[in-house]
Amino acid sequence: MKSDINLKLISGNANKALAGSIARRMSVYRGAPVNLANARVERFNDKEIFVEVYDNVRDEDMFIIQSTSNPANDNLMELLIMADALRRSSAQRVTAVIPYFGYARQDRRTAARTPISAKLVANLITQAGVDRVLTMDLHAGQIQGFFDIPVDNLYAAPVFALDIKANFPDLSEVTVVSPDVGGVARARELAKRIGAGLAIVDKRRSKPGEIEEMMIIGDVKDRVCIIVDDICDTAGTLCKAAELLEQEGGAKEVHAYISHGVLSGPAVERIGKSVLKSLVVTDSIEQPAPVRGEERIRVVPIGPMFAQAILNISNGSSVSSLFKEDTLGPIYEAFYPID
């Protein structure tokens, strides 16, 4: 890997741990130190956000690492203001690395007089001076079309496949489960990667946030079920689906793999009391102490994948190559040794 690529990383306050992980992995890949740009992202007394970049960024290929997770509005504004600061400082290109893209659940009008907030946020990011977006597991793939700039959407499925193969020795008894009809494509992709069967939990909502009825499509009796989804917020749907699979479907045990662990409100308590044997999330969102303290919740790293993606973007290499397990496997060899 060339070490003379003219790139720099900068991080907001949303997920400093992930930003540091990406920088360390990039240092290993390049064989040269990669540090986060020296900057301050602070607030005035009235909570207005102030950004000052101390490093020279003129003609640099800049990558802002910032998830728009809770507090979503504050983290989004940090991203926009950092992009504006870099653009006004003559950065050659500004790429927003958004591991978790907030407001993605509002990607269409579900009722009269409602917004399409995902499109609004895409417009804000573009107008702030961002030239490219790198994200992971958008809630809806069509959100890429909301941007008038290039968008690279990575997937957690290849990393999940590596983790499942390392932790489930008998894949012949595994069935991948989609918690709703809308997530079938995501579940099918993971099932294909590990050579497992597929089932669906079909749910009907009486109104947003409330489930009226759930039923299982497919045979899960005496199977090890792995529920896969992109977002787990309050964990209500996830825990009910796990209970349905075990009590009515006859599943041997139920696990879950979730790309973005929002885990707000009663989520951790619900998971602790649920029939779930384990919940695996990525570190796209920095988890607080209560989440890290729950023994059923495990975090897998996405820093190695994002580090390689950033290098590929900067030097003009393929990003889609990271969708392949034979490419991603060597990157994750420290976590999942290759036989």
Residue 101: how many other CB atoms lie within 10 Å? 26
Q: At what angle do helices 184-194 and 157-167 cross, to 10 degrees?
A: 50
Q: In angstroms, rounded to a whole number, what is the distance separating the alpha carbons of residues 205 and 246?
A: 21
Which letter does DSSP use for residue 155 in this model? -
Q: Compute the 3-state secondary structure of the chain and give helix, strand, coil in percent, each to the nearest 5.
A: 35, 25, 35
d(CA 244, CA 250): 9
Active site residue 16: no
Looking at the chain, which runs of residues are DSSP E strands?
7-11, 39-43, 49-53, 61-65, 93-98, 132-136, 151-154, 174-178, 197-207, 210-217, 224-232, 253-261, 276-282, 297-300
Query: For residue 178, what are the contacts with CB-CB under 8 A and spacing of at least 6?
Result: 184, 186, 187, 188, 198, 199, 200, 201, 227, 228, 229
What is the spatial distance between Cα 104 and Cα 113, in angstroms, rounded to a whole number?
Answer: 18
Per DSSP, the three-state class of 303 is helix
Q: Are 154 and 319 in contact (CB under 8 A)?
A: yes
Angle at 175 between CA 188 and CA 332, to 5 degrees: 70
DSSP secondary structure, 218-236, as one string:
S--TT-EEEEEEEEESSSH
Q: Which of 16, 119, 192, 203 is catalytic?
A: 203
Helices (runs of H) and strands (runs of E) counted in the chain: 10, 14
Active site residues: 203
